[in-house]
Amino acid sequence: MTVARDLLDLDPALPLSDRVRRVWFAPDGSPRPWWFTPADTVDAVLIALFSKDTGLALTGAHDALRATPEGALALLILLDALPRRLWAGHDKASAGNAAARALVIDSLRQGHDRHWPPAGRLLAGLCFLRSPDPIDQERGFALVDALGRPDWLAWALQKGKAGEARLPSLNFPGTPPGKAPPLSPLSASKYPAPPPAPESPPRPRKY
């Protein structure tokens, strides 16, 4: 069964939040393979499944999702990740940047991110790294660096506004100075996982 076939078999009766997260994350919370390796067949299925809801999210129609950690993560995917896949090469691909950034700030204040898998926090860091604001870029660097995944950090920096300029100043374990480490198998436990989310909701953070 192909990846595209797996996506088409997604149960349409599931709530939108669940469908979005199941497409973007594996059951163990790791990124799906198409995060890092785009494929035309996958993109065609993503367009069929989510173009309508992604467009609605950009208008604010799905803002109610931000009320829960799971919903906020799904909304972040709809605002930031999916537009870049659905409308690559067009202005609309970055139409959700401001809304995604605001969502991440709100999620950090509410502590939602502490209930996200590490790959979800990687998405949050990317929102800041794409910003032209140097302060945002530092926020993004700190968020991704805290995940303990040098390969993710290098990948995220390459996607950011000023990341490639910063790479030569960084040293990654087992990698020549100034060189980015290769992405390891995405579901492997090569790097230690961040601490688990607390059982009780954390106090809102000042941001």
Helix (H, G, I), strand (E, B) or coil at 203: coil
pTM score, whole prediction: 0.79
Q: Domain for residue 175, yes or no? A: no
Q: Is residue 56 part of a domain?
A: yes
Give the up-direction half-sphere exposure of residue 75: CA atoms within 13 A in the CB hemisphere: 27
Confirm whether 199 is domain-assigned: no
Domain count, the chain: 1
Position 187 scores a pLDDT of: 35
Does residue 203 lie within any of the structural domains? no
Q: What is the pLDDT of residue 189?
A: 37
In a domain, 88, yes or no: yes
Burial of 197 (0-12, 13-18, 19+ CB in 10 A): middle
How confident is the model at residue 34, as a pLDDT?
79
Q: Is residue 29 part of a domain?
A: yes
State the pLDDT at residue 161.
Answer: 63
Residue with tokens 């996200």: 116
Tokens of 156: 């995220």
**Rg of the chain over all Cα atoms, to the nearest angstrom:** 17
What's the Cα-to-Cα distance from 59 to each of 56, 63, 141, 153, rounded to whole Å? 5, 9, 29, 31
For residue 150, tell me if it sits in a domain.
yes
174 lies in some domain: no
Q: What is the spatial distance between Cα 15 and Cα 129, in angstroms, rounded to a whole number?
A: 30
Instruction: Give the tokens for residue 60.
Output: 């604010």
Domain that holds residue 156: 3-169
Helix-, strand-, coil-residue percentages of the chain, each rounded to 5: 60, 0, 40
What averages of pLDDT result for each successive group of 10 residues across the chain (207 residues)?
Answer: 62 92 90 77 88 97 98 97 91 94 96 95 92 89 90 82 54 54 43 42 48
